[in-house]
Structure 1
C-alpha cells in the first residue's frame, strides 16, 4: 500500500534538529515532535513496501500525518463540516437583557433593548419543551449586554430548562460571557446551582489600562471589583468543575505592560487549573466608540511581536483556550450550525452575536413557542456553496476551519477576516504550547 503526506500537515522546524508537527484535520491532539532526520527518512521511504514496519511511521499515521495515496482529503473535510453543522445539540445563545452596566471604549453594541419580558421567556420555554426530544442535548450561553443585569431572567429560564431536560433525559450545560462586575460569591453560588459552569471574563491588562478601557457607564473603573470577585470565588469555591477564561483585548498601551500583566495574574491564578487566559486583539467591530481609540489598536505584525514576548512566559499562564481554535469542532463558528440560535431579549432570532444590525443576521422571531424562521436567510449561514474563495480548499488549515470560521464574512462578501489569526501565527502558538501537549515520536 502506498502513502502520501496529509495536505493538512504543518511542519515547524525548531532548534536542535527538532520538528514540531500539527495536522489541522486531527487538531490539537495531533501535535507531535520528531527529529528532522527521522521525519525526512520516513518521507523518503513512503514508497518502500516495508514502511509499515516503521514504528515512528505508524505513530504519525495514527495521528493523521500520512494517509493512503487514494484518500480524498477534501471530501473528508466536507463530511466533517456536515457532521458538525448537523449535530443534534440545541444551542441557544440567550440575551436576557441587551443593556449593560459598562461603556467599554471599543464596544460595538448599541444597548437599545432592555430586559427580556415574561412573555418572551414563556415562549422560549414553550419552544424548548415542545422540541427537546428532537435533540440529544442542550447547551445555553448567557450573553448580552451584560447578562448579570438580568439575573432573574437567567434564574427563571435556567430552572425551566433544567427541569425540561431532566424529564426528557437530555444533558444540559450552560456558560456565560460576563464582564464579571456583578459576579459576587453569592451570585456565583446561585449560578452554579443553575449549572452555569463556564465563564469568559474580559480583563484588559493591569489596573491602569483596564480602567481606561472598561468603565462603568458613569466612567468609574472596574478592575478592582472584577479581580476581587474572581479571587473570592477562587478562595471559597473548592469544586473543580467551574472554568474561568480571562480574555484580554490587547492594545498598544496594554502591550507595554506585558511583564507586569503576566507577573500579576500568574501570582493570582497560575496555581489554579480552573483559570486560563485568552489573548486577543482589540479590534474595530463597528460602532462609533472604537474610532476614538483607533490609534491604539494593533495590527498583525504588532500582535505577532506580542505573542513572541508572551512565549517567553509560557509556563506562567495557562493558554489552553487557544488550543480550541486548532480543532475543527470548536474552530467552526457556532453560526454555521443548523440548531444554533441567538435569542435577542425581544425574541428576535439571530445567527451571530457580532453584528445585530446586519439584515441577513435577523433570521426570524419567537411566537407562541415556535421559531418562525426565514429559511432562505438561514441557509446562507449553513451552506458552503457560496464560499469558494481561492486557495481555501488547498490550505493546510482547512482541516480545522473547514471554511466555516466566519460565515458572516462570506455573507457580507468581505475578503478580510476570513482566516482565523491562529493560522497566521501558527509558529508562535506551537512555541507557546508546553511540550507536554506534544506526542513525542
Structure 2
C-alpha cells in the first residue's frame, strides 16, 4: 500500500509581531483555520491545483511572444551565454510576426509582448515599428496588450522612455550588479566602457517622472559582490525605496553556457539571497516576490509562449538558444508557425501533470513542476525552484514587506 501523500498546505506562524498584514496577505491562498481538517482539505485542494493548472496552461485566447529584435548587444557581460552572431531581425521575420498577430487577434483576449535580446534597444526602430503595429491591432480587436522589456538600461534614455510609455510599454527589467565598482567589473560595455553611471541616471529620470510603470531592478549575485550588497541595498533604498514603481529581484549568477563559465564565482546558498531580501525589506525596498499560484511557472512551459529569434527560428527558452532541443520551429513570412511537435512536447507536458512527486509537492501551486523545463529536458532532473524548502520564509517576506 502506497504512503498517503502529505497535504501541500504549509503551516506558517505569524512571526511579524502580530501585524495583521501577514495573514491578510496569505488568507485564501496559504492559510487555513487551525480547526481545519487538512487531510480532507488536501484532496479538494489537489483537485483545485489540477484545474488551475489546466485552465491557465491549455488555452488559445492568449498569445505570448518574446521577441529578439536583435541578437547583438552593446554590453559584454562576463556571465553572458549569447554569442552575438545574429544581428537585426530580418524584414521577413518582422512581416511574419505582424501577420501572425493579425491572424490570431480576433480570437485573443490578451497579447503579451516581451522584448529581449541581445539588447533590444540597439534595434530601437524595429521595436518601435512592431510596437505601433501591436497597439493598432489590439485596439482594433479589443485585445488586452501587455508589454514588457528586458534591457540593460544604457539606451533607455529619457526621450525613448517617454516615447515607449506613450505606446503602452510600462514594465521593465533593468540589471544593476551592485555598486558602481562591482557592476562595472561584470556588466562591461562592448569595447570596455563603464556602464553603471548612465543606467543609474536613466533610472533616476524615470523616478522623477509622473508616469505609471514598473521597474524591476535585477541584481545578479556571486561571491565577488555578495559582501558589498548591504551598502548597495542602502543606496537603492535611499533613492528608490519610497517609490512604489521600483522593486528588487535577486538572482544567483549561474553557469548558463557562456565562454567564462569556468571562472565564475557562483554561490549555491539560497539563504544568502533570503538574508539580503530581509535586509532590503527592513530598509524599505519593495521586493519582487510574487507567491500567487502559477507565479513560478516558467514562460517556456506555456503552450502559447514562443521566443521569436532574429532569423525566424522559434525557441521556447531564452537560454541555451543554440541547443537543438530548444529550437522548436520557425515563423514564415505569411505568419505561419512551423512547429516540431516532438521537440515541443517536453516543454509543455512534462510538469506536474506527469510527475507524481510534483503532484503532491508542498509548493505545487507555485511552479506546477515547471520552474525550469530546460533542467528536466537537459539533465532529466525535477526542476524545483530555489525557494523549495524556504516557502514559509518567502511568504513571511512578501507579507511583511512594503506593499507593491
Name the TM-score, length of structure 1 as normaliser. 0.82
The offset of 1:96, in angstroms, is 0.3
Is 401-410 or 96-105 further displaced after alignment?
401-410
The offset of 1:186, in angstroms, is 0.3
Distance 1:289 1:72, change over 3 A: same
Distance 1:21 1:259, change over 3 A: closer
Mapped to 1, the partners of 2:280 and 2:324 lie a distance apart of 44
| 2:305 pairs with 1:305 | no
| 2:370 pairs with 1:401 | no
The offset of 1:434, in angstroms, is 4.5
Distance 1:194 1:283, change over 3 A: same
Residues 387, 394 of structure 2: 8 Å contact kept:
yes
1:98 aligned partner: 71
1:9 aligned partner: 9
The offset of 1:122, in angstroms, is 1.2
| 2:296 pairs with 1:327 | no
| 2:136 pairs with 1:136 | no
Mapped to 1, the partners of 2:42 and 2:183 lie a distance apart of 54
Residues 115, 345 of structure 1: 8 Å contact kept:
yes
How big is the alpha-carbon RMSD for the aligned residues of Structure 1 and Structure 2?
Answer: 3.0
1:411 aligned partner: 377
Deviations 1:305-333, CA, capped at 9 Å, x for gaps = 352254144132434322x2x22232211
Match of 1:212 among 153, 177, 185: 185
Residues 277, 320 of structure 1: 8 Å contact kept:
yes
Mapped to 2, the partners of 1:275 and 1:78 lie a distance apart of 34
Report the 3-state secondary structure (helix = DSSP H, G, I; strand = E; otherwise coil) of the residue aligned with 1:248. Answer: strand
1:61 aligned partner: none
| 2:45 pairs with 1:80 | no
Report the 3-state secondary structure (helix = DSSP H, G, I; strand = E; otherwise coil) of the residue aligned with 1:330. Answer: coil
The offset of 1:356, in angstroms, is 0.8
Mapped to 2, the partners of 1:17 and 1:119 lie a distance apart of 60
Is 371-380 or 147-156 further displaced after alignment?
371-380
Alignment of 1:215-294 (within 5 A): 215-235=188-208, 237-239=209-211, 241-293=212-264
Alignment of 1:348-427 (within 5 A): 348-367=313-332, 368-384=334-350, 388-389=354-355, 391-415=357-381, 418-427=383-392
1:316 aligned partner: 283
| 2:151 pairs with 1:178 | yes
The offset of 1:338, in angstroms, is 1.5
5+ residue gaps, structure 1, are 47-65
1:432 aligned partner: 397
Report the 3-state secondary structure (helix = DSSP H, G, I; strand = E; otherwise coil) of the residue aligned with 2:10. Answer: strand
The offset of 1:426, in angstroms, is 2.5
Name the TM-score, length of structure 2 as normaliser. 0.89
Residues 79, 260 of structure 2: 8 Å contact kept:
yes
| 2:182 pairs with 1:190 | no
Report the 3-state secondary structure (helix = DSSP H, G, I; strand = E; otherwise coil) of the residue aligned with 1:412. Answer: helix
1:54 aligned partner: none
5+ residue gaps, structure 2, are none
The offset of 1:110, in angstroms, is 1.1
Distance 1:291 1:69, change over 3 A: closer
Structure whose residues are more often strand by fraction: 1
Residues 12, 21 of structure 1: 8 Å contact kept:
no
**Aligned length, in residue pairs:** 397
Report the 3-state secondary structure (helix = DSSP H, G, I; strand = E; otherwise coil) of the residue aligned with 1:30. Answer: coil
Report the 3-state secondary structure (helix = DSSP H, G, I; strand = E; otherwise coil) of the residue aligned with 1:119. Answer: helix
The structure with the larger Rg is: 1
The offset of 1:230, in angstroms, is 0.5
